[in-house]
């Protein structure tokens, strides 16, 4: 009987021609062969991530379109594991020989070489093609998105609305981007899955000035899987919100620094939990030994009022994904329940090196990055209180209505600017305040979030980490922090 097993010496002569303009079943044979070749070389695990990308952004400043930036890209990355060690090599050559060359380089970094010419290459039995890209009319999305002309018209109309509604307007900016991505993941454990993603974001910024008084307010929205997102944008409502906030802050008094009880608004207020605590629950932080929660699973790390989730399932939210960038179906992960740490967020490498189970959280900016444990839609859940309960519990404090930018240290120390704040006196909002900065540490602040209301709302955000910049959602209901340091004047 003649063996049908492939010999290593036969691999260079193979001539696979998978579909070049999309990812489908025709990629099974070449990827199966390459995965088998990597296993024959002694690798414990091999994964290919292949990507096509179609991106465009548009910027309107005052009454002119000042930038339109399109970008097309395609490429692949191969990750190889040997024990708990791994390496990653990327290439923009999607031919069989190009992928084989990337695999060979990755193997060599780990001290592995391709097998001799008469070695058998094992067949990797990939699963039935798991095609998320064929669901929800994803194949039609790109053609249904706004044209460049429509982008410009909508953004200029948004800027016009800011001018008409605002006072003492100095500058106006509105921006939009559309990021279309097709990905294919194949791995030596049998994963063989494809997805199409459509992520869009738009926003406006208004700068107002009157003499020495200045205010700058912005708002950003984001969506996944909605081709009509831009054309359905109610930019009039956004302009109304921004101009009202800018007007309030233009003549606001500076906040007096000190320690205060603070009520933080819902929606983008959740950025502090994302930055100060969420990152500390990623296995990348456990690997580095930089999270104070490294051995706290099952223990109380937050106030008993606080429950928090990370998930990739909520329809059209900015961090929603049908599968992660390692081919694992998305899921809902309970992070903290009534103050008790329940789970960490783990990708494959994090799971291998820490023992925590994978959570569908392996994400990356694109094919030039290896996946890492990253957040998706991350938020503090609703509590048992009303907003009136929160405010009435504060004799003197600060209401943080709109959060700005900030910075976070490796172990959870943070400072965040507040774009729009108000003084609370005897349970009532009184005068507007500006110049506030929230300063604290995650391990301390999590214990002081004593009240959560029931008006959970989510907001789009961008998250940078070891695997690049990814789209995420932050969120929370209104919450009360019993005491936090507020920097000001």
Q: Which percentage of the chain shows pLDDT scores above 90? A: 90
pLDDT tens per residue across span 206-220: 999 999 999 999 999
pLDDT tens per residue across span 355-409: 999 999 999 999 999 999 999 999 999 999 999 999 999 999 999 999 988 888 8
Least confident of 117-126, 238-247, 295-304, 349-358: 117-126
pLDDT tens per residue across span 218-246: 999 999 999 999 999 999 999 999 999 99
pLDDT tops 80 at residue 194: yes
Three-class HEC string of 277-302: CHHHHEHHHHHHCCCCCCCCCCCECC
Contact (CB, 8 A) for 171 and 246: no
Contact (CB, 8 A) for 378 and 472: yes
Supply the angle between the helices 148-165 and 235-250 in degrees, to the nearest 10: 40
Q: Would you state the pLDDT for residue 3? A: 43
Q: Would you state the pLDDT for residue 4? A: 57
Contact (CB, 8 A) for 339 and 301: yes
- pLDDT mean across residues, the chain: 95
pLDDT tops 90 at residue 200: yes
Domains in the chain with CATH codes = 6-55+71-133 (3.30.160), 138-185+194-252 (3.30.2290.10), 258-487 (no CATH)
Element (H, E) at 30: helix 28-40
Question: How far, in Å, are 41, 71, 123, 128, 303 from residue 38 at the CA level?
Answer: 5, 33, 11, 21, 48
Q: Which percentage of the chain shows pLDDT scores above 70? A: 99
- C-alpha to C-alpha distance for 238 and 161, rounded to whole angstroms: 9
Residue whose structure tokens are 């991350």:
378
Q: Would you state the pLDDT for residue 32? A: 95
Phi, psi of 230 (to 5 degrees): -70, -50
pTM: 0.94
The pLDDT of 418-425, averaged and rounded, is 97
- C-alpha to C-alpha distance for 73 and 94, rounded to whole angstroms: 12
pLDDT tens per residue across span 29-58: 999 999 999 999 999 999 999 999 999 999
Q: Would you state the pLDDT for residue 234? A: 97
Contact (CB, 8 A) for 413 and 444: no
């Amino acid at each position: 009987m003649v063996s049908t097993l492939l010999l290593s010496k036969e691999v260079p002569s193979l001539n696979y021609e998978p579909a070049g303009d999309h990812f489908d079943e025709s990629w099974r044979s070449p990827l199966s062969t390459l995965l088998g070749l990597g296993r024959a070389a002694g690798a414990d695990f091999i994964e290919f991530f292949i990507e096509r990308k179609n991106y465009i952004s548009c910027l309107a400043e005052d009454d002119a379109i000042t930038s339109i930036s399109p970008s097309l890209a395609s490429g692949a990355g191969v990750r190889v594991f040997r024990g708990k060690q791994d390496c990653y090599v990327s290439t923009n050559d999607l031919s069989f020989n190009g992928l084989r060359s990337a695999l060979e380089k990755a193997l060599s970094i780990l001290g592995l070489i391709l097998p001799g010419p008469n070695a058998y290459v094992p067949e990797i039995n990939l699963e039935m093609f798991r095609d998320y890209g064929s669901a929800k009319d994803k194949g039609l999305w790109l053609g249904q998105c706004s044209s460049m002309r429509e982008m410009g018209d909508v953004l200029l109309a948004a800027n016009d609305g800011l001018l008409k509604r605002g006072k003492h307007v100095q500058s106006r900016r509105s921006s939009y981007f559309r990021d279309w991505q097709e990905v294919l993941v194949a791995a030596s454990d049998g994963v063989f899955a494809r997805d199409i993603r459509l992520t869009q974001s738009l926003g406006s910024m208004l700068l107002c000035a009157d003499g020495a008084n200045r205010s700058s307010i912005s708002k950003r929205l984001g969506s996944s899987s909605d081709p009509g997102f831009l054309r359905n944008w109610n930019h009039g409502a956004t302009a109304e919100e921004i101009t009202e906030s800018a007007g309030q802050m233009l003549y606001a008094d500076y906040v007096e620094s000190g320690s205060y009880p603070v009520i933080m608004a819902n929606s983008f207020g959740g950025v502090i939990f994302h930055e100060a605590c969420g990152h500390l629950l990623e296995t990348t932080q456990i690997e580095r030994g930089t999270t104070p929660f490294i051995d706290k699973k099952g223990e109380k790390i937050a106030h008993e009022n606080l429950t928090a989730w990370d998930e990739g399932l909520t329809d059209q939210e900015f961090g929603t994904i049908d599968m992660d960038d390692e081919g694992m179906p998305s899921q809902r992960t309970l992070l903290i329940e009534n103050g008790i740490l329940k789970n960490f967020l783990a990708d494959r490498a994090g799971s291998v090196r820490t023992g925590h189970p994978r959570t569908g959280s392996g994400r990356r900016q694109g094919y030039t990055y290896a996946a890492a444990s990253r957040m998706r839609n991350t938020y503090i859940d609703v509590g048992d209180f009303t907003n009136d309960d929160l405010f009435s519990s504060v004799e003197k404090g600060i209401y943080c209505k709109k959060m700005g930018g900030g910075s976070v240290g490796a172990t959870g120390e943070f400072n965040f600017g507040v774009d729009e704040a108000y003084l609370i006196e005897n349970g009532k909002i009184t005068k507007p305040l500006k110049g506030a900065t929230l300063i604290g540490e995650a391990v301390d602040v999590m214990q002081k979030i004593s009240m959560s209301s029931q008006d959970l709302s989510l907001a789009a955000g961008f998250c940078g980490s070891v695997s690049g910049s990814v789209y995420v959602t932050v969120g929370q209901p209104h919450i009360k922090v019993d005491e936090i340091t507020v920097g000001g004047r």
